[in-house]
Amino acid sequence: MKAVTLNTLKDWKAAGEKFSVITCYDAAFSQRINEAEIDVMLIGDSLGMVLQGHDSTLPVTLDDMVYHTRAVKAGNSRSLIMADLPFMSDPSQEALLNNAAALMRAGAHLVKIEGDAWLAPGITELTRRGIPVCAHLGLTPQTVNQLGGYKVQGRGEAGQPLVEAAQKLEAAGASLLLLECVPSEVGKAVTEAVNCPVIGIGAGPHTDGQVLVLHDLLGITPGKVAKFVKNFMQEADSIPAALSAYHHAVKNGHFPSEEHCFK
């Protein structure tokens, strides 16, 4: 199996081919995800909620992210590996560069950072030093306290600023964008406004890639599940079969369907 790179994702976007992304936190799942041919693995700071049992991602540390990135890297050979910069990873430009470097040394091929257009200078510095970046926009869980909850973003007049922020971040050097919890029309507008691939979660069917949290997809999430989640274990008789069903549903454009989208 040929390894997936950022160039693969760009070629797929140009050709209109969708790609699958899933969160992963350890070597055993990394191997199963590799076997299911899922294209990108995200070591998400969602591990603070699904592994550590916190009610937000804020307690996750850089050491946690490095530990889990090493474990995922050890189990995988094909998927592109993306690791989250946790809450307050960029109190200064120097700290941002050092924290991102730690994730790359642990095995990430690129880092993901949450924010908005203000991320642009940091993204430019990272990419200048050979660290590709995915900018996470829309619902940014690390700012849940400021947002007042895990709510849909970009509704009505708030849609256009998201499109503009996406363009600024691409111009600053972002290789990928991730859009969380926005109306499908905003997902479409952002995807069409930039050349880099856009990954969606609760952002409708038009984004180039789709991501789900592993535990959501397997139906073992502690607590309430979001509207955009589909439990693929309901139609599968094993974990490998559920992972494979997710991958094919994304590739064929069958997931997400309307019931998983916001208007």
**Which stretches of the chain bind ligand KIV, using CB under 6 A?**
23, 42, 44-46, 84, 178, 180, 201, 211, 213
In the complex with ligand KIV, which residue's Cβ is closer, 157 or 207?
Answer: 207
Q: β-strand 80-84 against 198-201: which pairing, if any?
A: unpaired
Q: By Cβ distance, which residue is nearest to ligand KIV? A: 44
Given the complex with ligand KIV, which of 149 and 156 has the nearer CB atom? 149
DSSP calls for 11-47: HHHHHT--EEEEE--SHHHHHHHHHTT-SEEEE-TTH
Return d(Cα 22, Cα 44) in angstroms, integer: 9
- Whichever of 81 and 128 has its CB closer to ligand KIV, that residue is 81
DSSP assigned state of 119: G
Please tell me the distance from the alpha carbon of residue 21 to that of residue 33, in angstroms, as a whole number.
Answer: 10
Catalytic-labelled residue, pool 35, 94, 180, 259? 180
> Min. distance of Cβ 211 from ligand KIV in angstroms?
5
* Active site (annotated) includes residue 185: no
How many angstroms separate the CA atoms of 81 and 151, rounded? 28
Residues involved in catalysis: 180
